[in-house]
Structure 1
Amino acid sequence: MIRPLGLAFALLAAVPLAAQPVEPRFTPDAFRAHVAFLADDLLEGRDIGSRGHEIAARYVAQRFAALGLKPAGVEGGWLQPIRFQETVRSGPKGQVTISGPAGAKTWEHGTEVVVGLNPTMPTGEVSAPLVFVGYGLEAPAMGTDDYRGLDVTGKIVVLLDGFPAGLPAEAAAHLVATKRMVAAAHGAIGMISVSTRDSAKRQSWASVVRNGNGKNYRWLRDGKPVFDGAAVRQSASANTPVAEAIFAGAPKSFAAVQAEAAKKGVRPRGFALRTSARIAQSASTRFIDSPNVAAVLPGADPKLASEYVVLSAHLDHIGISPERPGDTAQTDRINNGALDNAAGIATMLEVARAMAEAPDRPRRSVLFIATTGEEKGLLGADYYARNPTVPKAAIVGNVDLDMPLLLYKFTDVTAFGADHSTLGPLVAAAVKPMGIALSPDPMPEETIFVRSDHYSFVKQGVPAVLLATGFANGGGEQWRKFLGGDYHHPGDDMSQKIDWASGARYAEANWRITRAMANADTAPRWYKGDFFGDLFAAGAEKAALPK
């Protein structure tokens, strides 16, 4: 059950400060040493395809080797190489032209329109009539079927941003992420997004333009970029003046549609528009190579050793920021990524060390994966989950470590996704002896569950959670401060007041969780009736919801 944010904070405030010492095999110095190397200026922010990322990958591989783990990359090695395509705008600016009862008008990318990038068609255009399809969602079981009765074959669909009120936030976030695929499945060849009143409040048009100027990255299969919904050949986002032109002469104006969408319990129905559009884009591409790093600790139980539990963390960060006006030779432009996510990698390495040095091996095999391309769209994890180096059906659970905030003494953790599977109570029981509480998601409106590497495993039917330090004991304030300051900024470096004892404590917590998952009599299971379990693991055995 998703709790309101206010209730979550009330619950967190009641969590007592734990006094238990860190398990002796985890030390602040060992944790700090990993972070200090990975976040050093020498590695220049570990961007994919960079020398710094390659150095980091080899550091992780050699640590695995020193621990006596088995290589789980390709061809008997530690690495799983991945080739990516980078698509970047070049040549003439993208354009959107709307033609209708009032004539035709054209807008350039970065003005009142943002033209998307399709890596499978980096340069090209589409022209077609327009059809409004509401929010563009398709989930009949949830009472949403926006394409019902509409013919969009060969058309450009116009859809509202986001999702209507009343849908469960995490399920709705998945539906939003698949809008392009749904449009393609119905035969659309183009897509234009327009705002609701709510989405316009949450994100200004200036922010949409800023975010729309980035590059696009995709991993390659047989030399071609993997891009779900590629049949929608061109796409764009449109500001209010363009949206008004799109709805010119329609049964309902854009303002009327926005007003309807703002009413509680009302979901605008689609209809054919009296306008058409041309969307054009020009871009260039290049290829980048960057690896995942993978190792395995074989299990000891003859019956369970063929099953794998996964502990993952992303190794990449965002590299060096472009030079800006006013920068000098002394300006720090290296995004070191100490907390995001050298700290996650340090945790994984320390868990691997503790498990490898233990006198008793876990019953199940444990797979440790340092992924690449997370900052480009969860790409390395997506590649591994779709192309695992162990049998896909043998992967039974995943805990992902992404950006533990170690700027305070945490007393609780949040396992994003805990409500969906038996991993929730497993995590709670594993950390309880440390005096650490498992708290509810403090920000369900952010739909974190579908926004980090673990979700790549979820989409392959694997129960998974993202483990984060919680909001108790001042954590909420520290999270807000970090996300509004040093996050994705050169300030995320070793100069921060990182509590290394909390790093060791976080590593111990994940050691306990991974060990519990690997030694349990039963592998993690989705709950009966869970949206994600039913969608991605329909045939898997389910667990009853806890009382």
Structure 2
Amino acid sequence: MKKTSLGIFTVASLAIACQSGNQAGYDASGLDSTALASITEEAYKSYVMKLSSDEFLGRKPFTKGDTLTVNYIQEQFKQLGLSPGNGDSYFQEVPLVEIDTKPVSPTLTFTGANGSLTVKHLDDFVVSSKRLQNDIKINQSELVFVGFGIVAPEFNWNDYANIDVKGKTVVAMVSDPGRYDKSLFKADTMTYYGRWDYKYEEAARQGAAGILLIHETGAASYGWNVVRTGWAGPQLAMVSDDKGASKTEFEGWISQETATKLLNLAGLPKDIQEQAKKTGFKPVPMPVTTTFALKNEFRESKTNNVIAKIEGSKRPDEVIIYTAHWDHLGIGEPVNGDSIYNGAIDNASGVAALFELAKAFKAAKVKPERTIVFIALTSEEEGLLGSEYYTQHPIYPLKKTVANLNIDAFSPLGATKDVSVVGFGQTEIEDYVIKSAAKFNRTVKGERNPTTGGFYRSDHFNFVKNGVPGLFMGSGSDFMEQDSTVINKRKAALGGRYHTVRDEVTEDWSFDGILADIKLFFDIGYTMSMEKSFPNFKPASEFKELGDKRLAK
């Protein structure tokens, strides 16, 4: 079916392309060659290198790097001739709270009838809190193993069935059952239930005092080093009216090795995690207790989304929003003397693309009929907070927002014949991707590993949760370079850079594929900008009802 659909769209798009090719300013494929020519490697590379340089101190919100970064982005938007996107300002203030949680002791001890287990902070566990209180103390909290920690009536699944966890600490696995049994949930395409933030939310709804997630590299799609780096220092959160009282008192992770020892201490069956992956699993009380003592320091401050626009020529009230998050991890634990997490791929590469896209829209022979908005979002690394704030306080009505085209972490491995859409099958934006890709002689596929839940892991998801279709797209895996030795050498050189100090621009980067993806992003948005229809979600999407409601308003 997918191959048939692709063929239909390819033929249709080629027909459209031939018609468009007859218009002034377009080549035979229906592409605006003048606009595309304005996207250059020299300019793009200079933007990426600047944003990922040590000068910006890792671009962490609430630091000097924050101020330097947003001012730089504003200046580039001005130089490119873009109008302010928030009235007469390029900034949208985002109020957040920074919470620095530290255990009183560098170790944590679990006590059971058959002995005790002591583990080390950072090496074996990490912990944070969203509560705005200085001291958090939980005495002799009982532990409960709740499998995946999921309550999903539509999938007939309840990991909290017939148990009261109020005041207790729940221990849960990452991912969802579909990863292990394709007859469950959405098979190997992770649902939102598999995300760590959902599990935190559900534990709070159940009244748990705290939650410990069991890290497993395959299921999480990243190693313990990412957990250690991401949760070890100060965390940002939205400022809530209840000062975090509706959250659990603590949220944390434990390594798989620690979890194995802990479950053994509790006397649970060695295969208890395997049992939890099967229908009918019930939560299991663990005859183990622990005591948490945490110190919180917090401060409320503001960071900024940076917003610019090109006003539409005929329907300026209808907007297409390109987004890329500007933030990264700042300064952290030194590795071989380097403590700046530069974030070149994640996501200087995306912000630089906003500049190149702006140049292309400004150079277009025929100006876009709808308004094109560019937003460099803050605090994605802290839990998609910049996009969450924007969608809760939209500058452009969500009803008039045609789509969100989100750019997060381009691949520097090289050009590919295919393009990967994360969450393929979710939105009608995919139809535009297929049509535009055909103009570049590229095919469209879903992501290589849908079990990671990528559709729920970047800023487009906050638009999606509010009924606005979002696109998260990147290079494919069918490389134009035929010499596998070259590709394998790049993979070896560039691998393992995610959330490390090694995420910098090096001689191993190939920019061909990135530029090709930027040009594809341009044509998708440009095509939408010339139409009157609004894309929606696909019938099988769990967000279709939200999309229908938005368009019906």
Q: TM-score, normalised by structure 1?
A: 0.80
Matches within 5 A, 1:97-496: 98=110, 101-102=113-114, 105=116, 107=118, 109-110=120-121, 114-120=125-131, 121=133, 123-127=135-139, 128-164=141-177, 165-166=180-181, 167-168=185-186, 169-177=188-196, 178-194=198-214, 210=228, 214-221=232-239, 230-233=247-250, 237=254, 239-245=259-265, 247-248=266-267, 253-261=268-276, 265-287=278-300, 289-302=302-315, 305-324=316-335, 327=337, 333-473=339-479, 477=488, 480-481=491-492, 484-496=495-507
Structure 1 gaps of 5+ residues are 4-18, 543-547
Give the C-alpha shift of residue 78 in structure 1. Answer: 0.3
Counterpart CA distance in 2 for 1:81 and 1:383 is 9
**Alignment match, 2:549:** 539
Give the C-alpha shift of residue 315 in structure 1. Answer: 1.6
Per-residue CA distance 1:267-300 (angstroms, 9 max, x = gap): 5212445554433323333455432100122223
Give the C-alpha shift of residue 117 in structure 1. Answer: 0.8
Secondary structure of 2:350's counterpart equals helix
**Alignment match, 1:507:** 518
State the one-letter code of the partner of 1:257: I
Using a 3 Å threshold, how does the CA distance of structure 1 residues 183 and 42 change in structure 2: closer, same or farther? closer
Counterpart CA distance in 2 for 1:418 and 1:424 is 7
Per-residue CA distance 1:350-381 (angstroms, 9 max, x = gap): 21122234353323222110112223332222
Structure 2 gaps of 5+ residues are 4-27, 482-486
Using a 3 Å threshold, how does the CA distance of structure 1 residues 116 and 384 change in structure 2: closer, same or farther? same
Kept after mapping to 2: 8 A contact 1:131/1:272: yes
Kept after mapping to 2: 8 A contact 1:184/1:229: yes
Q: TM-score, normalised by structure 2?
A: 0.79
**Alignment match, 1:11:** none
Counterpart CA distance in 1 for 2:149 and 2:2 is 25
Give the C-alpha shift of residue 423 in structure 1. Answer: 0.9
> Is 1:62 the counterpart of 2:82 in the alignment?
no
Counterpart CA distance in 2 for 1:496 and 1:219 is 37
Counterpart CA distance in 2 for 1:126 and 1:140 is 31
State the one-letter code of the partner of 2:353: T
Using a 3 Å threshold, how does the CA distance of structure 1 residues 278 and 498 change in structure 2: closer, same or farther? closer
Kept after mapping to 1: 8 A contact 2:353/2:518: yes
Give the C-alpha shift of residue 415 in structure 1. Answer: 1.9
Kept after mapping to 2: 8 A contact 1:182/1:229: no
Give the C-alpha shift of residue 57 in structure 1. Answer: 1.9
Using a 3 Å threshold, how does the CA distance of structure 1 residues 482 and 401 change in structure 2: closer, same or farther? farther
Using a 3 Å threshold, how does the CA distance of structure 1 residues 450 and 477 change in structure 2: closer, same or farther? farther
**Alignment match, 2:37:** 24
Counterpart CA distance in 2 for 1:56 and 1:285 is 23
Using a 3 Å threshold, how does the CA distance of structure 1 residues 257 and 501 change in structure 2: closer, same or farther? closer
Counterpart CA distance in 1 for 2:518 and 2:217 is 44
Give the C-alpha shift of residue 88 in structure 1. Answer: 3.0
Q: Share of identical aligned residues, percent?
A: 25
Kept after mapping to 1: 8 A contact 2:97/2:239: no
State the one-letter code of the partner of 2:537: W
Give the C-alpha shift of residue 468 in structure 1. Answer: 0.9
Using a 3 Å threshold, how does the CA distance of structure 1 residues 209 and 194 change in structure 2: closer, same or farther? same
Aligned length: 507
Secondary structure of 2:247's counterpart equals coil
Counterpart CA distance in 2 for 1:268 and 1:141 is 16
Give the C-alpha shift of residue 236 in structure 1. Answer: 5.6
Using a 3 Å threshold, how does the CA distance of structure 1 residues 460 and 217 change in structure 2: closer, same or farther? farther
**Alignment match, 1:8:** none
Secondary structure of 1:376's counterpart equals coil
Kept after mapping to 1: 8 A contact 2:412/2:511: yes
Per-residue CA distance 1:221-277 (angstroms, 9 max, x = gap): 36876x6961455656352332233x34xxxx2425235246xx4452124455544
State the one-letter code of the partner of 2:191: A
Counterpart CA distance in 1 for 2:347 and 2:304 is 16
Kept after mapping to 1: 8 A contact 2:98/2:237: no
Counterpart CA distance in 1 for 2:146 and 2:310 is 50
Counterpart CA distance in 1 for 2:389 and 2:217 is 37
State the one-letter code of the partner of 2:458: S
